[in-house]
């Protein structure tokens, strides 16, 4: 199991600045990994979590805590966890196994640079771009200030929403293309717990649109039934 990747700057990745607003997905791509089976929906897997703690208690804004600070600290924590799991499965996600960054259904995530050019890229490259982008943002003192008294910028929530969209897509690709491998190494109870925490947090704080989460709505519903 690997640790966190140290990602190059998004600007270094291909010499261009990559913008989250340019990320788009289309329905034209063909997913060739897992067309029909959705093993993550099988009851023997969907019921597996590492904790049955009250998730709602974990996601709500604690009394006396600033809303932006709460969003920021959770954004960092979710990034670290999802980056860690993605790294743990990275040996299974290569340009040959995953020539496109696909998700459930026929969703294909396409990275677009700041000149509007769509970059044809494999899943590992797409998610390298995504993680680099997020890492750059989280370490940008103007966006995620760490100094006492520093104010969060206008549009902070919008940036957080972009980060959570990329994190959701990372998990969507893992569930869609690498669930069996995650299950074989025993990571699936952790995935379910993290995914449930992520989706409940995003719903409570209105960070993802229903159309963004729709590809995994069946899993969200199935996990919700487990209580």
Q: Does 198 bind Zn ion (CB under 5 A)?
A: no
Nearer to Zn ion, 93 or 222 (CB): 93
- Contact criterion met (CB below 8 Å) for 159 and 21: no
Residue with smaller CB distance to Zn ion, 93 or 131: 93
Minimum gap (Å) between residue 136 Cβ and Zn ion:
23
| CA 182/CA 175 separation, integer angstroms | 8
CB of 70 to Zn ion, least distance (A): 32
Q: Does 161 bind Zn ion (CB under 5 A)?
A: no
Contact yes or no for 108/126 (Cβ under 8 A): no
- What is the closest distance, in whole angstroms, from the C-beta atom of residue 139 to Zn ion in the complex? 26
User: Helices (DSSP H) in the chain: which residue ranges?
Assistant: 10-14, 43-46, 55-59, 67-88, 123-138, 156-184, 188-204, 210-213, 217-225
Q: How far is the CB of 95 from Zn ion (least distance, A)?
A: 9
Among 10, 72, 110, 123, binds Zn ion (CB under 5 A): 123
Site for Zn ion (CB under 5 A): which residue of 98, 130, 163, 191? 98
**Residue 26 DSSP code:** E
- Distance, CA of 173 to CA of 161 (rounded, Å): 18
Q: Which residues contact 67 (CB under 8 A, 6 or more apart)?
A: 61
- Which region, judged by CB under 5 A, interacts with Zn ion, from 73-81, 120-128, 153-161, 216-224? 120-128
Is 93 marked as a binding-site residue? yes
Which spans of this chain sit near Zn ion (rule: CB under 5 A)?
A: 93, 98, 123, 177
Annotated binding site for Zn(2+): 93, 98, 173, 178
């Amino acid at each position: 199991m690997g640790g966190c990747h140290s990602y190059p700057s998004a600007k270094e990745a291909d010499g261009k600045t990559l913008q989250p607003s340019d990320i788009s997905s289309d329905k034209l791509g063909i997913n060739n990994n897992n067309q029909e089976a959705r093993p993550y929906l099988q009851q023997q897997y969907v019921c597996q979590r590492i904790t049955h703690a009250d998730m709602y208690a974990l996601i709500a804004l604690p009394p006396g805590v600033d809303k932006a600070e709460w969003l920021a600290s959770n954004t960092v924590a979710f990034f670290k966890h999802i980056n860690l799991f993605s790294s743990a499965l990275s040996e299974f996600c290569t340009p040959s196994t995953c020539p496109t960054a696909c998700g459930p259904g026929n969703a294909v995530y396409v990275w677009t640079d700041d000149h509007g050019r769509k970059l044809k890229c494999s899943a590992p490259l797409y998610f390298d771009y995504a993680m680099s982008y997020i890492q750059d943002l989280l370490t940008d003192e103007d966006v995620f200030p760490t100094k006492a008294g520093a104010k969060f910028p206008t549009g902070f929530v919008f940036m957080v929403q972009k980060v959570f969209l990329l994190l959701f897509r990372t998990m969507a690709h893992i569930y869609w293309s690498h669930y069996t491998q995650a299950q074989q190494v025993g990571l699936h109870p952790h995935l379910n717990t993290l995914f449930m925490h992520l989706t409940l947090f995003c719903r409570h704080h209105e960070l993802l649109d229903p159309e963004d989460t729709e590809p995994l709505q069946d899993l969200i519903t199935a996990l919700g039934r487990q209580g």
